[in-house]
Structure 1
């Protein structure tokens, strides 16, 4: 089989784009599990909410308000929608999840799985299951750049750069700032944190807000690339869980590095043996768990 270097590099770039989404979604999942010990199975639903928030703001908002000229452009959606999705997460955390912190993790998983089904069902009733295109991509990000070995869409390059900036920004926030130290203290040893006057319930709420907002941000960024549909989160959440398990449950750096690496691997495998591309992530997960059950960056129990 004659495979050119340009074909490998082209697929690697496309894989890196997918890997950026894996990293961004896995990051939110890792933050929630690492800080709250909650297996957030509704993470894909919040990703879907972010994409639909962008779609509704651009295509439906003006119609609902009686003025077709009123549209939420992409840059506004990039700032506003993750905050709104995060607030939905805050309401869920305060009213439901906060009651389950002292019981087995299975209850949190079942609750979030049920929430995912409810949200998916609600949007399925009002939107096309096959998906709708988002037409609000900024004109400045239209077209493609000549990378020498391929013409790469400007928007995909933007999504890669933005995802990397957000991922490492969150890592810096959690690992290198005073707020991050409070977050870690409030979840690792809440009794001691309370003794020092730290508001532990507030920190837990902020942590869930951050993780859910990251999922909403990923949805907004994904909207111009993928069809916006009620099942888009369910289609991706299994892969994202695999990424988190490989990187180490709760490891922020593990989620970032593993997401990017597996996206690259998936892209390159498509060149050499396309049927393997859909399963290579799960093969890697099985091998990693056999060698290191805690994951590549996880801490052994």
Structure 2
């Protein structure tokens, strides 16, 4: 193709970009939901993603629960952890400066990662693919599980967007960020709604961890290594923007993959270069004008 770049390499990197973009989109979607409703920058999101992977690994290695069971159980377990965290850590800080909640969630992330590392060590733990094999498309080999991850994450993101943007529950959530007293006049418990929304965002992180377990080795640092990229995605898409989180996540995953083909040395930097350009020319985010800040 271009100066000796093969079609197989090009499409292979696009596939890798879509896979990475799937995790970028799902994780940044959870962050956008939490920030949009609670104005909390959830630094513990990476640790919650890591917990989802570890819970799925424990379910398989200790209780014999296969991947398909963990796909439902692990996000619920992580969401319950989120419920407890919101009640114990975030609720007492809700009337204070947002910096306090940021520091508190960062402290929780360090504690959780440290406890997991102490218990299981730093070495990555393997998790067998639940859908082995793949198909040869002629120009590239497509593993079935990676195709499943891209499709499942896309469906999850679209379903979450529709829930928030096109249902009565979503309307209540959006209204609760601006006029909670009006929402409460309809008999809705706004504090409980906030807690459940945080748990939902955390559950998305846990679900992402389950999806990631068969692709990346399950390790205590898998979340912290990813979080700085996720925050960059959220900033580029627009803080609190649901559409921005989804679209930007997939887009930057593909851009990162293509950069590995044409300029490998810049692959680890391209997302942050885009973030700097976005902050200079569009500081409120790419989707700030098409979607109300929540």
Residue 22 of structure 1 corresponds to: 24
1:205 and 1:95 mapped to 2: Cα distance? 11
Q: Which among 72, 76, 89 is matched to residue 96 of structure 1?
A: 89
Pairing 1:60–2:62 present? yes
Residues 222-269 of structure 1, C-alpha deviations (whole Å, 9 max, x = no match):
000001001110000000000000000000110000000000000001
Q: Which among 38, 41, 58 is matched to residue 39 of structure 1?
A: 41
State TM-score, norm by structure 2.
0.96
1:176 and 1:290 mapped to 2: Cα distance? 33
* 1:197, distance to aligned residue in structure 2 (A): 2.2
1:143·1:153 contact (CA, 8 Å) conserved in 2? yes
Residue 74 of structure 2 corresponds to: 81
List alignment gaps of at least 5 residues for structure 1. Answer: 62-70
1:186·1:198 contact (CA, 8 Å) conserved in 2? no
2:158 and 2:31 mapped to 1: Cα distance? 15
1:211 and 1:227 mapped to 2: Cα distance? 23
Pairing 1:259–2:249 present? yes
2:251 and 2:33 mapped to 1: Cα distance? 19
Alignment of 1:238-257 (within 5 A): 238-257=228-247
Residue 197 of structure 2 corresponds to: 207
* 1:104, distance to aligned residue in structure 2 (A): 1.1
2:223 alignment partner, SS class: helix
1:187·1:204 contact (CA, 8 Å) conserved in 2? no
Runs of 4 or more consecutive aligned structure 1 residues displaced over 4 Å after TM superposition: none
* 1:94, distance to aligned residue in structure 2 (A): 1.4
1:145 alignment partner, SS class: strand
1:217 and 1:181 mapped to 2: Cα distance? 24
1:189 and 1:116 mapped to 2: Cα distance? 31
Q: Which among 205, 208, 219 is matched to residue 229 of structure 1?
A: 219
2:178 and 2:112 mapped to 1: Cα distance? 31
Pairing 1:162–2:173 present? no
State TM-score, norm by structure 1.
0.93
1:2 and 1:11 mapped to 2: Cα distance? 15
Pairing 1:282–2:284 present? no
2:139 and 2:239 mapped to 1: Cα distance? 37
Task: Output the aligned Cα RMSD.
Answer: 1.2
How many equivalent pairs are there? 289
Tell me whether 11-20 or 215-224 shows the greater mean CA deviation.
Answer: 11-20
